[in-house]
């Protein structure tokens, strides 16, 4: 099975709690990810909850939170024709600030095609998240 992986980390003077607040309020994801038009979640920010994100210029895409560790990490998965996309978001305390890491693993026949498209703006989004949280 074809697989594509990508990871990007940014360090900054934010707190773990502030980053977590921005992550767990999905309506705010558009503040740091310019590719998103809107994000909604049905239920709490907890494992098993599902939601919908609208990427600018595209239709709605469903996602499911598959793992949530408050103030540490969450994983969301999206299934599209030809691929399963798994996004892992981690925050950890380093020195006087944090390190935020977003990684993506895409599996399926469309992985090699989707990978560069899906991850093209990921470094900018992580950078913007850390800046917003600082």
Give whole-number Cα distances, 48 to 41, 52, 75, in Å. Answer: 11, 13, 11
3-133: CATH number = 3.30.530.20
Work out the percent of the chain whose per-residue pLDDT is above 70.
100
* Residue 46 DSSP class: S
What's the pTM value of the predicted model, to 2 decimals? 0.95
Q: What pLDDT, on the 0 to 100 scale, is given for residue 131?
A: 97
Q: Going along 1-134, which residue ranges are E strands? A: 3-12, 36-42, 50-55, 60-69, 73-80, 83-94, 97-107
Please write the tens of the pLDDT for every residue from 73-120: 999 999 999 999 999 999 999 999 999 999 999 999 999 999 999 999
Q: Give the pairing type, strands 60-69 and 73-80.
A: antiparallel
Domain assignments of the chain as residue spans, ordered by start = 3-133
Residue 76: what are its φ and ψ, rounded to 5°? -125, 150
């Amino acid at each position: 099975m074809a697989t594509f992986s990508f990871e990007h980390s940014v360090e900054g003077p934010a707190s773990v709690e502030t980053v977590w607040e921005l992550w767990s309020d999905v309506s705010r994801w558009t503040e740091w990810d310019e590719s998103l038009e809107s994000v909604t979640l049905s239920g709490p920010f907890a494992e098993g909850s599902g939601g919908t994100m609208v990427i600018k210029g595209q239709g709605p895409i469903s996602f499911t939170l598959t793992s949530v560790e408050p103030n540490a990490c969450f994983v969301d998965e999206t299934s599209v024709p030809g691929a399963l996309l798994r996004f892992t978001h981690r925050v950890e305390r380093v020195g006087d600030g944090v390190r935020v890491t977003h990684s993506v693993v895409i599996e399926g026949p469309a992985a090699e095609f989707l990978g560069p498209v899906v991850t093209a703006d990921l470094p900018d989004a992580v950078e913007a998240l850390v800046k917003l949280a600082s």
